[in-house]
Amino acid sequence: MKKILLVEDDSHLQFLITEELKDEGYDVISASNGKEALSLLFDEQHGEPDLIIMDIRMPKMDGLDALGHILKSKLDVPVVIHSAYVSYQDNPIAMTADAYVLKSHDFSRLKKTVSELLNRNAKDSSGRGAEALLLPRAAAM
């Protein structure tokens, strides 16, 4: 079962997304800010997730700062920025994410992106299908 780290400070939205992803067959662990996400990410007890879904505007540590730490750590985990703000798409750190999905009451776009990224990684690790990349990850700034 693929494991997803969901980083979302809105508890209601976190619950809804978690349920949607569980219905798709994913194991979901949640954090409510970037600092908590990094603690979970580097805690060997939880193991490395197969994918991270990251909100941007959160208390304690925002998603862009957390993404910067993830990039510096050299972890090879796909990251989906999930934000209500279009304006962050052109942020140099946000551009290093594997995908940027605008928040919506309909989670079909988010679920499709998650599926595509997880399938891409499965194909990449087997040495086949690397030409079907969703978005190339930009070099860390």
- Tell me whether residue 39 is in a domain: yes
Nearest to 63 by CA among 121, 133, 119, 5: 5
| 64 located within any domain | yes
Note the pTM of the prediction, 2 decimals. Answer: 0.83
- Residues 18-63 have pLDDT tens digits of 999 999 999 999 999 999 999 999 887 778 999 999 999 999 999 9
pLDDT, one tens digit per residue, over 59-117 is 999 999 999 999 999 888 999 999 998 888 888 888 889 999 999 989 999 999 999 99
- Name which residue leads in pLDDT, 135 or 41: 41
Q: Specify if 138 maps to a domain.
A: no
User: Which residues constitute the domain of residue 70?
Assistant: 3-132
Q: Cα separation of 42 and 134, whole Å?
A: 26
Q: Does 95 map to a domain?
A: yes
DSSP-assigned states of every residue in 51-120 = EEEE-SS-SSS-HHHHHHHHHHHT----EEEEES-GGGGG-TTGGGSSEEEE--S--HHHHHHHHHHHHH
Tokens found for residue 98: 């594997």
Structural domain tally of the chain? 1
Examine residue 28 and state whether it is found in any structural domain, yes or no. yes
Residue 118 sits in a domain of what CATH number?
Answer: 3.40.50.2300
Q: Is residue 108 situated within a structural domain?
A: yes
pLDDT higher than 80, residue 137: no
